[in-house]
Chain A
Amino acid sequence: MCDDCGCAAPGPKVVEVNQSLLAANDALAAKNRTHIEALGAVAINMISSPGSGKTTLLEKTIERLKGELRIGVIEGDIETERDADRIRAKGVPVVQLTTGGACHLDAALTHRGLHALEDQLVDKKLDLLFIENVGNLVCPATFDLGEHQRVVLVSVPEGPDKPAKYPKAFVSSQLFIISKTDLLPYFDFSPAAAAKEALQLNPRLAVMELSAATGEGLDGWLDYLRSLCR
């Protein structure tokens, strides 16, 4: 029984709740953010369809920035440790989260990942924390993990119509990366058209084109990361 709704009276009672179904996730995400900031890090949540090149971009990024910035990675996948193994081979602390079927990471799972990652850090300090979300352009966009920046990737072979089809990922991101630009000659993909569609949904979105394979456009991405750490 409570005092505020007259629920001692018999019969059905109507309770106005007006609470987000994501309230619990968002509260935990806020905690994660504090946690990440205590490590001194900026966290980046990377969202894309499966195979857009998130892990490859991280591998190249680590190769280039390893001596300059302290990097940690949380890998989200439905199953397997493969992505984490690839990152570990680059010599930075990494934690693999497997969702056991779920199509996205949530704040609770990320929280566990943060603790596991912290255990690997000798001095408990990081500059950049990458969170590679489960390959999926829909579900991850709904869940705040406690990141500071959200990056959405679309690779050239996927086609340029993704922003219109999956608006939430673009509305909630700060940066849109068009990846695998080395394949542009072989696909009917206009980066300008894709950028325009994305900017219509979110005019504040930064847009970058790059190829992790050739390294073209990578400098802009690395500068972007450096500027976040400053």
Chain B
Amino acid sequence: MHELSLVQGLLRQLADLAGKHGATSVSRVKVEIGPLSGIVVDSFCFGFEVLAVEDELTQRAILEIVVPPLQYQCCHCGSSCPATTTMPDSCPRCGTTLLVPAGGDGIVLLQVEME
């Protein structure tokens, strides 16, 4: 359950942000979880549900998760394939089968709404 430790980090970050902006309540949190991040979205949401209510600052916060589609890059010609959910069999430009995921492993706090 490394999701839980990431949620703890997120809550610390929210407390910092709220302090910096003089906010007393966080209403909405938007987080991007890459499909290759190794993070289970359900576990992350569950962890947030459990931990966010423990603090007045975040107890009413709604968590919104964005999972971006994966992009692949061709090792041969360098061109990127359009984002898909499964790996394309070959590069649409040169036909090579050596494709690697480009990014998709990030876990990013995108946006926070607070008052």
- Residue pair A168, B37 in contact (C-beta under 8 Å): yes
A202 near B: Cβ within 8 Å?
yes
- Residue pair B87, A200 in contact (C-beta under 8 Å): yes
B81-115 at interface with A (beta carbon < 8 Å): 87, 97-101, 105-115
- Residue pair A138, B21 in contact (C-beta under 8 Å): no
- Residue pair A19, B101 in contact (C-beta under 8 Å): no
- Residue pair B23, A7 in contact (C-beta under 8 Å): yes
Per-residue A-contact encoding for B3-34, CB less than 8 Å = 1, 0 else:
00110011001000100111100010001000
- Residue pair A14, B113 in contact (C-beta under 8 Å): yes
Binding site secondary structure of chain B? mixed
- Residue pair B100, A203 in contact (C-beta under 8 Å): yes
Report Cα–Cα, A20/B34, bound state, in Å: 11
Distance between B76 CB and nearest chain A CB, rounded to angstroms: 10
- Residue pair A15, B2 in contact (C-beta under 8 Å): no
A1-38 at interface with B (beta carbon < 8 Å): 1-2, 5, 7, 11-22, 24-25
* Given the contacts A13-B114, A14-B113, A201 and B101 also touching, CB distance less than 8 Å: yes
**A21 is contacted by which of B75, B107, B114 (Cβ under 8 Å)?**
B107
Binding site for A on B (CB under 8 A): 1-2, 5-6, 9-10, 13, 17, 20-23, 27, 31, 36-39, 75, 87, 97-101, 105-115
A-B contact pairs, 16 of them (CB 8 A): A12-B27, A12-B115, A13-B114, A14-B111, A15-B114, A17-B17, A17-B109, A18-B108, A19-B13, A20-B106, A21-B6, A21-B107, A21-B109, A138-B38, A142-B39, A171-B101
Binding site for B on A (CB under 8 A): 1-2, 5, 7, 11-22, 24-25, 102-104, 106, 138-139, 141-143, 166-169, 171-172, 200-203
